[in-house]
Each structure stands twice: as C-alpha cells, then as structure tokens.
Structure 1
C-alpha cells in the first residue's frame, strides 16, 4: 500500500505566490498526499485563498490561527497530520510535478525513514539562479547523525561540503517524530529553527537516503527575513551559535560541529555586513564596529583554523579580527560583501 504523505504549508501574507505553490502540490504525480494550509494570521488575501483551495480540492485542508511565526505554525500542522511521512513546503516556493514521487522512491518501500533532496534556487520572478544537487548516498545508524546532520551545521574549513539545513524537500517519518516528541522551536527565539529541528530528529534516524532530486523550487524572496535588514540579526546569530555549540558539547560530533558552526557564524557575519548597505556610512561603521568587538565572535576566530580557509574568506576574517571597520564599511556600502 502506498504511504500517505502529509505536506504542511505555513502561510503568511503570500497572496502573490500561494496559487502557484498550491497548484504545484495538487498537480503532483504522486497522488496519495494530504495538503495542510496553515494560515498564520495573514493580513492579506492569503487566508481567503486557503479556504478556496480547501473547497476546490478534496485533499487540501485549510486552518487559521493567530500569528506565531514559522516554527510554531509547523508544529500546529504536525499536530493535525495523518500521513506516514511528512514534508514541509514554504508558501512562496513550488514543486515540479515529480517532486513528491522522487522522495517516496527514496524510501525504498519502507527501508528508509528519511529522504533528503536538493533544490533549484530561483529569483522572485522564477528565473533560475543555481541548482544544488547532492550525490545519491545511503546512511545507516550513527552515520545519519555524524555524516548527514553534521554537514547541516555548515561546511568544513577546507571545502564547501554542507547540506542545506532546510526541512523542505525532505521526507520525515511521522512515527519517529511522534515517538520522540520532536517539535520546532520558534525562529523568533533561535534564528535557524530548521537546524534545531534536524539536531533533534537525526539522533533517531536509522536509515537516511540522499537523492539527486532538484525538483523543489526555492524562491529568493527579496522581502524575506534573510534578505532584509534587521538591527538585531547579529545578536540572534550569536545566541544561536552559543545555543548550538552548547547543544553539541556532549555528542560524538562535538569538535567537528563547533568548526562547522563557527564557519557558518562567519558567513552570517558577512551577511549582516552586506545588509547594512542601504544605511548611512556613519551607521554602517557603528554597526560593524560593534559586531567586530563582540567577544564571542573574537573568541570563535581565535579558536578556528583560519589558515585553512580560502584566500577571500581568510582576508575577510583577518579584517574582522583586526577591526578594520572603515574598510569593511566601504565594502558593505558598495555591495562588495554580497
């Protein structure tokens, strides 16, 4: 018997994209799916669209709730799913018709409890930016945590070998989730709620398959939280870094996890600088000086094998370490850190 696949779609002010998203789900070649649209207190027409889709399609259900953010909205959906496996779709993204089928094929008739695919990144208008594809691999028992999840924390010092820590285009075992009481934290508390979820989930996965699918279309939305300036972004990145490094302390991957989390922190610092671009030069300098003076960041740099990084990364970290504020501010202002 074909497994029932639950698709949880948190919805918040995405009237512009929602129809394409839902229509792509309804058009999946794999038909044994249920689609849960969770309206997280939208203030545009998204909630009304959810109701229209639920009336139009028998396998679509619409729910409405007060706004709590992405992570807790996914939890709301998890409490209501009926499927054997669950996947998550962001409501400004969409899927190729074979996306769910490829994930289901990766289950190998129940041999695997988790399946991970890649993605195609597109612009707001749907133009392809790049494709992230992973080679097909099987992982068993401890490997699911030490070789799969560990790479979700970031890349190693010498190479780009990370796996994107997102919960879309991934198929998760519902029984594993419920048996171990796994749930999302709020992204308002920890900025990368997907990584926290995966850190809890992959402790229990015993058979994970990575497939070479890129049938998930991930939209680079210019209004998303990751693309817009927020004065508290860096502080949230530091809180997350400390939370995850502490969480990894008593695991077998402790040392490697810290290296990967540190490299990811460096990437986040660069992103914070890049998002300063639209502010005045004086404001940029003030913000960059504050970030460069952060003790957690400076200690992370001291403990990291910076010499193993590529030349551009090495130069950037050198400037942060030595608080080359004016140079960094100029690079930020002219968009050279993007």
Structure 2
C-alpha cells in the first residue's frame, strides 16, 4: 500500500520553504508517495497545480491560529487525514505545526516537521516539537540550535538539506529573455541579487547597491534586485538615490519572480543565500554569499565547507557584512571572469553530489519510514556530532584571545570625545573626571552636560578643569542646561556637542581604568568592520579596592546579538566606545523606554547592522550607591515592570529632593 503524506504549509508565497516543498513533493510523487498539500494558497499555487499535486485548501490566516480560525483548521485537517487515509503529517511552518500536532493527538497519525531556520519563537516551537517523534533540520546550525536552544533530543534530528532540481536549474545562455528585458548587452556586466526584501537580508541588498555604485568607474556594471517583501519601498528609495548619484540607471528593482531560472542564467555573478545560493550554483554561476546572520563572500572550492557550515550566511555567523568586503569580492569576480567560470563549474558538481532533489527525496523517504516504524534514525540521516561545537570562520572560542593588538602598531590617533551627562553628581564627579585625565590615550575631549543639577555638580566640573595641571592632549566642553531634561536628552546633547571621530560613554559616578580608551581604540582600529565596543567591568560601592565581578557581559558578536534578540542585556552602556558614523546613522537616545534607554539604543544599533563586541578585561568600574536606579538589566534578572520603577523612584523622592523618573543616572 502506497504511503500517503499530508504536507502542511500555511502560505505558498515566493520563498525558500515554499519552493522546497514544491520540489520535494514533486519528487516524492515520482517515488510513488501520495502527497496531499494542505495550504491557504498563494502566488506559487499554479506551480503546484501544474505539477499535478493534490491541493487541499486550508484557511490559514495567521502564524498563530486561534479561536475560530484554529477550530476550522482542525476540522478540515482531520477530514483530510481521514478521507485520504494519511499515514504521516509533515509540517513546514509553525502555524502548520500547531494544527498538525493537535490533529496528530486526535487521530494518532504521527506528525514530523522540517525546521527551515532559526527564526521560530523558541518557546512556542519547544512546546510543539515535544509532540513530534522526529524532526528534520535543513542545516548544521539549525541542528545545533534545536539541540541547545530548543532542547530537542539530537538523536531525533535528521539533517536533510533543501534539495534542488539540478535538471531544471542548469547552465544556460546569458543572452536570454531576462537580459533582453533589462536591455543589457552581453559585453556589460550584470550582478543579480535574488532575495526576500525583509529581515536582515535587506542589509545585503543595501550593501550590494553601494558596491555597484563604487565600481562604476571600473566596470560597466548593472545590478538587478529580484524579490519582494516589507522593505521593498526602502530598496526602491536606495536604488533611486544610487542611480541619481551616478546619473544613470545601473540599479533596477525587478520585484518578485516566481521562477528565477533566467535571472540566474543571465548573471555574471549572483548574490544570495540559502536556497538561492544552491540554485545559482546549480546554474553554474559565480556566487557571493551573504544572508540573515552574516556575510560569507565569494564562493570557491576552498571555502565551500565553511559556507555550508553557516548555510551561506543565513543561519550562522561567518564574517561581518560591509560594503568594502562586498565591493572587493565583486571586483575580484569581474576582474577574473574566466577563473570565476571555472570555479562555478566545480561548484555545480558539489551541488550535484550533495543537494540533488532526487537524493534528498530518498533521504526524506527513509526518514518517513524510520518514523513510522518507530525506529532510531538511520545513521546516514544523523548530523555529525563532532561538528556541533565548531566555530565558523572568524568566530573566537570562548576564553580565546581577542584581536586587540597594541595601539603602537597604528599611526592613527583619532580624537575621542567622552560624553558625560550629570545630574546631582557633585559627590562623585571629580573622581570620574580624574579617571579620564589619567587615561593613557590622547587626544581626548571631555564633554560634561550639567542636566539642571540642584547641587554643586557645575562647580565641581569647572573647578576640576581649572585646577588640572596637565592638560596636554585634553580639551574640555561644559554646558549647563537651564532645567532637568532627563538622562536620554542630556546624553544625546553631549553626543551633539562632541567633535571626536570616536565617542565614549562615561557615567558621571563611575570610574574608567587608565588603559580603557587606549585598548578600545586599538580594537576598533584593528577591527574596522566593528562600529562599537564595550568592556568587562566590576562593581564597587565606597571603596574601589573592594570590587565585585559582574556576570552581565557576553563576548563575540553572534552571542551578543542573540542575547538581545532574546531580550537579554549583555553590554554595560557606560563602557561603550563607538564611531561617530554610528551616531549619525541611528541618532541619540530616546526616552520612551524609561529606565531602559541604553538597552533600546543598543538594540537599535544592532538592528541597523552595526557590529559590536566586548573586551574581556575589566576596564570600567561601576559605582553602586544609594539613590541610584541602575540602567543595567542583567539577562538573569526579571525585567522590572513600569509600576516597579515608579515605586522605587517614589521612595527616592522622599530622601533625595524629588528625583523624577527621567532624572535618574546609573
């Protein structure tokens, strides 16, 4: 009796998941499997119908169906299971999985899932996967994420990558209908980026636009952007600005294409990630890989395994994405077209050997058989456990040495402006300022913004500067505001007053180690892809010789970014040194998150694509004292609720002369 599988995918939009389901279902059908597709439909529906796959309409409307939507979905899905004598349900999205596991509980038909990335809400996914006997992960990073973050048993995870129809995605003529549509002659160069215009992938598109503009003086180069998504208006605007800058149309936003075959074949080089990367390689096109998680670069035989270990930059960290890197990789391909074509031929062979849909369908069928028989997964489906702890290119092991060379190796000495907002900090400010004067780095500009203090904060700061004997390499800027404006405002004003190429934070009651700025400047000079850097720190009360270690800080960009994505806070804001370009891009602090202004600023910088790390040395001393509301929110502590901030501050009002919510400093 033939196996019948109900595949559930809520929408058939243009994307890697939906395309993979189509390819897999078509091939499974050739293998004798009865496949029923349960979906709400979408732009790819015609492609599924043309393949003579059985389509059953399921009224998915959201990623988390509830109430009447959920009830109706359960009714229709159970009806499909019964009427088609379904043996196995295979879910490909979290909405589909929610329906599938409940249907499975009620019909005793097992459910499996393919996890296509690390973008699923962990808590929801964990609860749903607990009801699945086995799952498929499409890449090694997803295996690792499922095992560690979702806590799913690794012996129940099969590593089966997305498959490509290599008989369809084949080399072809560059002078095809797509080039004709763009009116680009064969002698001119065409870069094609195929991507969803959303999430972090938009950063790759923006970098590609700028890189193509940078290369206009060297090559007759065009860029075609194929894809759609929430960020499409932003991409259109960036393309218009780029074309205006070079006074000709070199960047075109094409929109979605259901079938990208001719787009790949027409290209001199393709920029993409994940399934797009595999399809482009199958078409024997030179590829530059970069995706949601990181940048990989120009692919060649020597870095293929690294590229696969991070799923072409879509699932794991490899290298920072910068315009300079992408520009250099494009230049390398365009200057060496013959060599790039030879590499592309070798890379197609790699795709044929590892990702052909016929082989992937056979692996999936073996996975089905193991699941239905209640057996352990076949050894050929299991991920290699030895690779689970490997770090991708450019990522340091925990406890490893950071790339922080001596400042003496660099000739450049950019001006560092230290931005200090101060409100009623006369008791501590002189010690703070003295620690800055003791810095081994010069030149320094110290900017103090007195935020309407009612104590002697102004006198302390100005008297300190007047009495300072060694002012070599130092400058001092002081501004007294007429009334208290709040921490976010005062900090932002200090940024605006500064003139340095680099800007350092410093809380007015804290102390910096003498080598803090020297080591942070050295890090940024040695790592030009990074835009800001913090440090480890210690906590003290009255006596700085009695310090306590902090466990808040994390190290390595991917770990830091993941912490913030999960709501953690792992950078001490007062320790940050950042490039002025970051401030000019994202602006100063906002005050709509009272007590968490620093957290919001850091997440905004990360969301804009800026890279950060923390130095492991304790180079900053955070003072704990009465009358203080810490802005440090440790990931191990519960976030305070708004009324708790108000209550704490209300208790401070009685003892400190009416400190208001916006007036608190760390």
Q: TM-score range by the shorter chain?
A: 0.5 to 0.7
What per-residue deviation string (whole Å, max 9, x for no partner) do you get for residues 123-159 of structure 1?
Answer: 134331224485753x3xxx4xxx424424667xxxx
SS at match of 1:215: strand
Question: What residue is the counterpart of 1:63 in the other structure?
Answer: 479
Measure, in 1, the Cα distance between the counterparts of 2:513 and 2:630. 24
Measure, in 2, the Cα distance between the counterparts of 1:67 and 1:97. 31
Q: Does 1:216 align with 2:620?
A: yes
Q: Does 1:186 align with 2:605?
A: no
Change beyond 3 A, Cα 1:133–1:195: closer
Q: CA deviation at 1:223?
A: 1.1
SS at match of 1:74: helix
Tell me which of 432, 440, 448 is aligned to 1:29.
Answer: 440
What per-residue deviation string (whole Å, max 9, x for no partner) do you get for residues 29-84 of structure 1?
Answer: 11222110111111111111122234344422211112111111011111111111
Question: What residue is the counterpart of 1:106 in the other structure?
Answer: 523
Q: CA deviation at 1:201?
A: 1.3
Contact 1:39-1:47 within 8 A present in 2 as well: yes
Q: How does 1:1-338 map to 2 (within 5 A)?
A: 1-55=412-466, 56=468, 57=471, 58-65=474-481, 66-109=483-526, 111=528, 112-126=530-544, 127-132=546-551, 134=553, 137=556, 139=557, 143=558, 147-152=559-564, 162-178=568-584, 180-186=585-591, 190-226=594-630, 266-268=638-640, 272=644
Measure, in 1, the Cα distance between the counterparts of 2:602 and 2:516. 21
Question: What residue is the counterpart of 1:257 in the other structure?
Answer: none
Q: CA deviation at 1:17?
A: 0.8
What per-residue deviation string (whole Å, max 9, x for no partner) do you get for residues 163-189 of structure 1?
Answer: 4343211111211221x24221127x5
Contact 2:413-2:442 within 8 A present in 1 as well: no
Change beyond 3 A, Cα 1:68–1:115: same
Change beyond 3 A, Cα 1:48–1:10: same
Question: What residue is the counterpart of 1:329 in the other structure?
Answer: none
Measure, in 1, the Cα distance between the counterparts of 2:626 and 2:640. 17
What per-residue deviation string (whole Å, max 9, x for no partner) do you get for residues 76-111 of structure 1?
Answer: 111111111212111110011111112112213451
Contact 1:20-1:94 within 8 A present in 2 as well: yes
Q: Normalized against structure 2, the TM-score is what?
A: 0.32
Contact 1:85-1:172 within 8 A present in 2 as well: yes
Measure, in 2, the Cα distance between the counterparts of 1:85 and 1:205. 18
Change beyond 3 A, Cα 1:30–1:205: farther
Change beyond 3 A, Cα 1:5–1:132: farther
Measure, in 2, the Cα distance between the counterparts of 1:194 and 1:206. 16
Change beyond 3 A, Cα 1:152–1:207: closer
Which stretches in structure 2 are left out of the alignment for 5+ residues? 1-411, 652-666
What per-residue deviation string (whole Å, max 9, x for no partner) do you get for residues 226-248 of structure 1?
Answer: 49xxxxxxxxx9xxxxxxxxxxx
Contact 2:586-2:605 within 8 A present in 1 as well: no
SS at match of 1:201: helix
Q: CA deviation at 1:206?
A: 4.1
Contact 2:414-2:502 within 8 A present in 1 as well: yes
Q: CA deviation at 1:217?
A: 0.3
SS at match of 2:542: coil
Contact 1:21-1:92 within 8 A present in 2 as well: yes
Measure, in 2, the Cα distance between the counterparts of 1:130 and 1:110. 27
Change beyond 3 A, Cα 1:136–1:150: closer
Contact 1:6-1:81 within 8 A present in 2 as well: yes
SS at match of 1:36: strand
How many aligned positions are there? 229
Contact 1:122-1:130 within 8 A present in 2 as well: no
Q: CA deviation at 1:267?
A: 4.5
